Amino acid sequence: MTDTATVPAPPFLGQIITARLTEALAPTHLEVVNDSHHHAGHSGDDGTGESHWTVVVESPRFSGLSRVARQRLVNGALADLLATRIHALAIRARAPGE
């Protein structure tokens, strides 16, 4: 008898980014945009189609923080991915009401 069970595909990087930022920042708004197609063939394109990203995130955690401090929170949530799978990350981080 042959086992026909399939192994589920690993989540796309965008799903991982979304889950990490949701857990770390409890955002009231979150957009995760794959910009990799704009960089195909350029330096940093690893051929996966998941190397360049933009995140737009609104979170109460950002209230009273500088732009740099906000970006550090995002980078901290994604640190291992930035070291291995993300070549470029554009961040737009704001607090509610901004």
Return the residue matching tokens 């070291």: 83
Q: What is the pTM of this model?
A: 0.82
**Phi, psi (5° rounding) for residue 96?**
-55, 140
User: Where do we find the tokens 């690893």?
Assistant: 46
Structural domain boundaries, residue 30:
13-94
Nearest one of 91, 98, 45, 42 to 68, comparing CA atoms = 91
Would you say the C-alpha torsion 77, 23, 45, 70 has a positive or negative sign?
negative
Report strand pairing: 29-34 vs 52-58.
antiparallel
List beta partners, residue 91.
55
Residue 37 lies in a domain: yes
Give residue-wise pLDDT tens across range 18-38: 999 999 999 999 999 998 866
pLDDT digits (tens, 9 = 90+) for 9-18: 667 999 999 9
In-domain check, residue 29: yes
Domain count, the chain: 1
- pLDDT, position 18: 97
For residue 67, the domain's CATH number is 3.30.300.90
Residue 62 lies in a domain: yes
